[in-house]
Amino acid sequence: MIRYFLYNLFTTAAAPLLFLYLLASRKNRRLVQRFCPNISPFRTSPIWIHACSVGEISVAKGLIQELRASAGNIPVLLSVSTISGYEFALSLSLDATLALAPFDFFFSVKPFIKKTNPCLLVIVETELWPNLIRESARYSVPVLVVNGRISPRKFPAYMRYKRLMPPIDRYLMAVLTQNEVYADRFKDIGITADKVSVTGNMKNDAVVTEISRDKCERLCKENGFSRNDIILTFGSTRPGDEVLAAHCWENLKEEYPALRLVIAPRHLQRLDEALYPFKGNQVTKRSDVVAGRQNWHARVFFLDTIGELTGFYAISSIAVIGGSFFPGVEGHNPLEPAALGIPVIFGPYMGNFPDAAQMLLDKGGALRVQDEQELIETLHLLIRNPLTCERIGRKGRKAVLDSCGAIKRNADIILNSIREER
């Protein structure tokens, strides 16, 4: 109780500063709504799913679809934490009520729970906010974590501060994790072992496995790609990745005239920084295409819109996973291009997706390289051998399809939990 008191004392003292900061920020001003989210009461208690941002929302999408198919009479509330997440969720037209999540202040969380009166709170991955969890449990709302994960980057901080943070174990009904490694990490930070179980990675189910030929042809046509182009996509790039991509481009562009390079920065506020290494090259942005200003002679293309990376993966010849070549980020989901039959390359730092990366490597559906030189050599090899590309892509797609089923397992546990409570 003392730790909760100190936590609330600290967060309440910080609330006015956060409010003033958001009010002064043009980009983040809408997040002021998280102090008191605007949401109408529900006639029937909903299943409340909380997903932080774009990555977690992609997981939540499949779960919502499964829940609506199995229990269409129970409404679903989806809360998100970021503006980009809200806009992405809005674009998905999900069969759920969408809201910005309350900040983890007791004076924000309590009214939200009282107004929505959920029958269950489902937290996606790692949103372990003390007041969110505690206040839900105090209002007799069971709390589950699904697709649970604690990344290697965040795990040391959890261990370092676990004695200072308010205890949440007593308020959690279950933690359903992606794999045994993450299960052990939840136990290490204080979650009772019998509450933790492995149900698989829902991202394996959530990835798109089919993009229609019509959509692919439309994307190619409107963006100036031809059928003979070799499209090399660096997806979800982080600092350093664009420099790496630029070096690869300089080594490849003369030898392969049909090669087109697509760069998709993970965070669009970095766009100017991401563009800088390509100064001197003709560049087109996706936003230029939408606005009718495309440079048809440009061979370098920047994807600067939200929610379109999957479509661009589908028209790619080779995909390189950003955030995997330098320590700190620990990679992005390699299953997204692999599920579409695209050969995948990633670097040595894939700590956020160890199982996915290893699964693809074991099945021959991806290649891991250690540095820039090995990446360039591998790209040469794949571009010169389209049959090798096809074989790797086919094996990667099969590996993803064979690993599905976690969404169904998690949805069954959620629905059984609701039935037991009733």
Note the CATH number of domain 213-402: 3.40.50.2000
C-alpha 97: how far from chain center: 20
Paired with 175 in beta bridges are 145, 196
pLDDT of residue 422: 65
- Element containing residue 412 per DSSP (H, E): helix 406-421
Q: Which regions of the chain carry the CATH code 3.40.50.2000?
A: 213-402
Q: pTM of this prediction?
A: 0.71
Amino acid sitting at position 39: I
Give the pLDDT confidence score for residue 419 in this predicted structure: 85
**What is the DSSP-derived secondary structure letter of residue 284?**
E
pLDDT at residue 82 in the model: 95
The arrangement of strands across the sheet holding 143-148 comes to 97-100, 76-80, 47-50, 120-124, 143-148, 174-177, 196-198
Question: CATH second-level architecture of 19-200+405-421?
Answer: 3-Layer(aba) Sandwich (3.40)
> Which pLDDT value is given to residue 165?
87
Contacting residues for 190 by C-beta, under 8 A, at least 6 apart: 162, 167, 168, 169
| Measured distance CA(319)–CA(313) in Å, rounded | 7
Report yes or no: 176 and 200 within 8 Å, Cβ to Cβ: no
Residue ranges in the chain modelled with pLDDT below 70: 422
Q: How many CB atoms lie within 10 A of CB 292?
A: 6
Which residue intervals of the chain bear CATH 3.40.50.11720? Answer: 19-200+405-421
User: Residue 233 corresponds to which amino acid?
Assistant: T
Q: How far is CA 239 from the centre of its chain?
A: 18
